[in-house]
Amino acid sequence: MEYILKLISSLTIAGSIVVGFILLLQLIKPHNISAKWRYTLGKMAITFYIFPIAIIMQWFILLITPEPFIEVVTSSTKPIAHEIFVGSQIGSITEQPISSNLVQILLIIWGLGFLSVIIWQIYCYQKFTKIVNQNLSPLLKDGAIMQKLVYFKQRLGINGTVDIAYSPIIRSPILIGLIKPKIILPISKNLDIDIEMVLHHELVHLKRKDLLVKMLLLVVGALHWFNPFVYILRKDIHIWSELSCDEEVVKEMSFTERKRYGETILSVMAGSRDLPARFCTALSGDGQQLKRRLMFMLNVKKMKKYSIFLTTIALLIIGIIGTTTAVWAANNSPIVGIEPEKHDAVGELSFSNGSEHNYIFEALTPMQQKHVTKEMGYYYLNKEGNVILYTEEIETENVPFEALNTEQKKQVTKELGYYSIAEVKELTKNKK
C-alpha cells in the first residue's frame, strides 16, 4: 500500500512539473512556437503522469551494473524491533507525519475516485458510440469519396483499414474507433465542406495516433483525478491536437486553399458543440478557440533551423527536469512507519549512541529515514534466495547490500533493510 502511495505521488509531481512549463509557454505568443512542438510537450506530460520513469531508470541502472565479486560478509546481530524495552518498562511509540491508518484512508479515497472516473468514462463512451453508430449509411466501395480516401491513405502511408460512412445525427465530420477507425460524415446538404480537406484532416489524426493519445489522457484523468493540473492538460491537449493537425494539413497549401480550409471549418462549427472531444477528433472545434485556430492556420510557416534547434533543446531540458523531479519524488514521497520517541528519563525508550544493533527502517526517526539508502542496509534471505523481512524462523545471518546478486538487488527496498543506529546517527549528523 505504501508503494502505491509513493508511485502515485511521484507520478503526479513529475507530470505537474511539465504542465507547469506548458502554463509558462502560454505567456509566449502562439506564432513563436510550432503547434507540433506544443502538442509534443503535452504528450510528454502524459508520459510522466503514466509511466514510472524514475523506477524504470533505477531498474535499468541495476541491470547494466555488473555484479561485484566480493566476499560475503554477514552480521550476527538480529534486528531490533520497533518496540524497545529498557529495564521492565515498554518504550512509547509515536506516529510519523503519515500513519498507516491515514495511508489506508487516502488510498481508499483515491481508489473510489479512480473507479468512479473509469466507470463514468466507459458509460459516456458507450452512450456516445451507440448514438453515433445509429442509422449509418456506408459509402459505395467504388464511389468517388472512397477513391479519394484510398488516395490520401497512400499519400500519408496508412496501411490499415479505415471505414467511412454518413450519419444523419452528427453535424461535423469526426474520427472514432481506436482499433477499428471510422470516419463519419454529416449527411446535410446545406454544409459547405471540401471532402478532400476533411479526409486529409481526419487521416492526419489517424496517422499520428491522436485517438490513442486521448485514451491515455483518460487514463491520466482517472489516475490523477485529484490533481487540477490534469484538467489543464486535458484542455491543452484538445486544443493543440487540432492546431497541430491544421498545421500539418495546410503546410503545403496556398493562401487561397487555406481560406477554403477555414471556410470548411466554419461551416461545421455549430455541429461540434455537443461532441465529446475526449472520445473523437472533429474537424471543427470550440467557438471560443475558433478565431485563434483560423489565424494560426492562415499564418503557418516552416520553422527555421535555429527555431527547431532551440525548441528541441527546450524540450530536452524539460524532459531532464521532469525525469529528475520523478526521481526526487520517488525518493521523497511520504513514508509510513513508526517513530520511537526519545526520552531521557530512566525506564523510558532511548537509543544508545554506542549501540551496534541493526534497527529496522520503521524504528528510525523521519530525519534518519530520509538519509539512509538501501545500499546501507543489511538484508535477510529465505531458502529460495529472496529478500524478505526478518522473522524468528530465519536461522541464516543477514548480508550487506553489496553481497546480493543482481536479482536480489532488484527486490531490495530500504524499508526491508536493517541499519546500524550508530552509523545512521553519524550520517544524519554530517547531513545537518
The 3-state secondary structure of 135-204, one letter per residue: CCEECCCCCHHHHHHHHHHHHHCCCCCCEEEEECCCCCCEEECCCCCEEEEECCCCCCCCHHHHHHHHHH
- Do 41 and 173 belong together in one domain? yes
CA distances from 358 to 79, 391, 428 (A): 5, 14, 16
pLDDT band per the 50, 70, 90 thresholds, residue 151: very high
CA distances from 95 to 228, 320, 347, 365 (A): 30, 36, 20, 10
- Do 360 and 228 belong together in one domain? no
Instruction: Read off the DSSP letter of residue 274.
Output: T
Give me the sign of the Cα torsion angle 244, 248, 249, 255: positive
Specify if 30 maps to a domain.
Answer: yes
* Cα gap 268→261, rounded to integer Å: 11
* Residue partners of 274: CB distance under 8 A and separation at least 6: none
Written as nine digits, the cell of 277 is: 472531444
- Do 283 and 427 belong together in one domain? no
Final residue of a structural domain among 323, 351, 380? 323
- Do 185 and 219 belong together in one domain? yes
Specify if 9 maps to a domain.
Answer: no
Specify if 239 maps to a domain.
Answer: yes
Task: Decide if 241 contacts 192 (C-beta within 8 A).
Answer: no
| DSSP-H helix ranges across 51-99 | 53-64
The angle subtended at Cα 383 by Cα 403 and Cα 83, nearest 5°, is 80
- Do 46 and 83 belong together in one domain? no
* Cα gap 193→190, rounded to integer Å: 9
- Do 288 and 189 belong together in one domain? yes
Domain residue limits at 295: 16-50+106-323
Does residue 288 surpass a pLDDT of 70? no
pLDDT value of position 286? 57
pLDDT value of position 69? 43
The rounded percent of the chain whose pLDDT value lies above 90 is 20
- Averaged pLDDT for residues 214-241: 93
- Do 285 and 363 belong together in one domain? no
Proportion of the chain in helix, strand, coil states, percent, rounded to 5: 55, 10, 35
Final residue of a structural domain among 298, 323, 348? 323
* Cα gap 115→169, rounded to integer Å: 31
* Residue partners of 370: CB distance under 8 A and separation at least 6: 332
- Do 352 and 250 belong together in one domain? no
pLDDT value of position 349? 33
Residue 241: count of CB within 10 angstroms of its CB: 25
More confident call, 61 vs 31: 61
Specify if 58 maps to a domain.
Answer: no
Does residue 77 surpass a pLDDT of 80? no
Q: Which H/E stretch holds residue 421?
A: helix 421-431
- Do 197 and 111 belong together in one domain? yes
Q: Are strands 163-167 and 182-186 parallel, antiparallel or unpaired?
A: parallel
Most confidently predicted of 112-116, 338-342, 407-411, 417-421? 112-116
Q: What is the pLDDT of residues 319-349, one digit of tens each?
A: 777 777 766 666 665 544 434 434 333 333 3
Helix axes 210-223, 100-132, angle to 10 degrees: 150
Tell me the pLDDT of the chain averaged across its residues.
77
- Averaged pLDDT for residues 16-39: 77
Most confidently predicted of 14-18, 62-66, 109-113? 109-113
pLDDT band per the 50, 70, 90 thresholds, residue 310: low
Number of separate domains in the chain: 2
